[in-house]
Amino acid sequence: MTVHNGPWGDLTPREPQELVKRGGPPHDGDMEARVAKLEETMASVRERLVAIETKLDNVDKSMCTKADMNALESTLIKWFMATALILASLAFTAAKFIH
């Protein structure tokens, strides 16, 4: 059966035997060896994942929240306004005594 698929030409379904004859992955018959290699590397992947999760747990404990950020912002604004008021008062006082 031939399927006419526009500009891509004729597409015909392949038989499974054609795939086996090609000999390339994943149909090369070496699937067991590749799966065994993947299973071997899973141990190191699990170890690395545990290390990452441990680091993320520590980061989560030390991370600030929105409430912390809002409190810090309020404190900084208060300090800025107080400092600006004191400096302006000092400047006007100094100007008063200089004249």
Position 76 in a domain? yes
pTM of the model: 0.41
83 is in which domain, residue-wise? 65-99
Instruction: Give yes or no for residue 80 having a pLDDT over 90.
Output: yes
Number of domains the chain is built from: 1
Of residues 91 and 14, the one with the higher pLDDT is 91
Non-local CB neighbours of 64 within 8 Å, separated by 6+ positions: 72
Position 28 in a domain? no
**Residue 63 to residue 55: CA distance in whole angstroms:** 12
Position 53 in a domain? no
Reported as a single tens digit per residue, the pLDDT across 29-76 is 678 888 888 999 998 999 999 999 999 888 878 888 899 999 999 999
